[in-house]
Structure 1
Amino acid sequence: MFLTNRLSVQQRFQSGFTLIEMMITVAIIGILASVAYPAYTDSIRKGKRAEARAGLMNLLQQQERYLTQMNTYETFAAGAPGALPFKAYSAIDGSQASSSHLLGTRICQPIGGVTPTKRDCIEVFAQPQSGVFSDPEVTSMAIDTQGRRTCTGTNTERCWK
């Protein structure tokens, strides 16, 4: 009988996890998450920037086609609904609601003191869509028909890479 009671006491103490084991496991998971989450968000931002670059190149190509047909470029505000035949958002296979950036066009900045016209040079630009995507490092990017690329934000090296 003494032996039976002793086994049941040992069995009771050996089942399950102790509080210390559980706290160590939670701490390890917390450390892994604190390292992995910033890397994950950085990867998402890189993908969204790549989506914006692809959208800019697509819009620039559409503008060149428009120039050959109408003998002028067309300007419109970022994300303008029904912006003539142009797509004003960056998602390639999605909708404007799922897009990370809104696209627009404007006349180029003055070159050598001469302000170009809409027939000479336009700049296509992408700006993050508010509420859907935030990028603290890159706030907007643009490229004009002369091939000049510009970028605004705190880390402009990341725009075109």
Structure 2
Amino acid sequence: MQSLSLPRRHLRGFTLIEVMITVAIIGILAAIALPSYRDYILRGQVVDATNGLAAMRANMERHFQDNRTYKTSGDFTTPCAVDESKRKVGNFTLSCKAGTPTDTTYVLLATGSGPTTDFVYTINEAGDRSTTGTGSSGWGTCTSAWVLKKGQSC
């Protein structure tokens, strides 16, 4: 009697261990890359605050040159008195510190929302800059400069 031998099909595919190793490698790469990517995105959003404050400060200085006061006068309305929706720049809202502007001083604020909730940037009439409230991990505060990236010191 002759034994029947079925033709063997050569199976192609991945073994379970190969798939598990691939998933582990992808997981490790994602764990390394994701925090760096988040910081990169956050740095891009911080620029909205600094650019907005610089533009707002330029308007205040232009008004002071013409009128010798930072307060609202004539046809000029200080940027702080403009509707809040028009003072929104990216994830930041631009405003004036309570009690300013006066005739000779002002303090402008950029307060973060959303992913930048912990960030508050300020600048005054003398150009003094500060960063406060950056409770985000690794982002510092500084009383003499704007913190623009994680790990930056004054």
2:36 alignment partner AA: A
Corresponding residue of 1:95 = none
5+ residue gaps, structure 1: 82-86, 91-98, 109-115
SS in 1 for 2:110: strand
Matched, 1:156 2:141: yes
- Deviation for aligned residue 1:75: 6.6
Q: Cα deviations across residues 109-138 of structure 1 (Å, max 9, x unaligned)?
A: xxxxxxx86110101110012xx32355xx
1:76 lines up with 2:80 in the alignment: yes
Q: Deviations over 1:84-110 (max 9, x none)?
A: xxx5122xxxxxxxx1101012367xx
CA 1:135/1:38 → structure 2, altered by over 3 Å: closer, same or farther? Answer: farther
Counterparts of 1:78 and 1:125, CA distance in 2: 14
In 1, the alpha carbon distance for the partners of 2:94 and 2:125 equals 15
For residue 105 of structure 1, the aligned residue among 96, 101, 111 is 96
Percent of pairs with identical residues: 30
Superimposed CA distance per residue, residues 10-39 of structure 1 (whole angstroms, 9 cap, x where no aligned partner)? x02xx1111110011000000000000000
What is the RMSD computed on CA atoms of the aligned residues? 3.0
Give the structure-2-normalised TM-score: 0.71
CA displacement, residues 41-79 of structure 1 (integer Å, 9 cap, x when unaligned): 001111111221111101100111222344422373797
Q: CA deviation at 1:80?
A: 1.9
Q: Is residue 5 of structure 1 aligned with residue 9 of structure 2?
A: no
Classify 1:41/1:78 alpha carbon distance in 2 versus 1 (closer, same or farther; 3 Å). Answer: farther
Unaligned ranges ≥5, structure 2:
71-77, 149-154
C-alpha spacing 1:46/1:117, structure 2 compared with 1 (3 Å): closer
1:5/1:77 CA distance change after superposition, 3 Å: farther
Residues 79 and 148 (structure 1), Cα distance of their counterparts in 2 relative to 1, 3 Å cut = farther
1:88 is aligned to 87
Decide whether the 8 Å contact of 1:45 with 1:135 is kept in 2.
no
Report the number of matched residues. 133
Partner of 2:125: 145
Comparing 150-159 with 16-25, which one deviates more in the overlay?
150-159
Name the aligned partner's letter for residue 141 of structure 1: Y
Mapped to 1, the partners of 2:95 and 2:58 lie a distance apart of 13
> How far apart, in 1, do the equivalents of 2:82 and 2:19 lie?
52
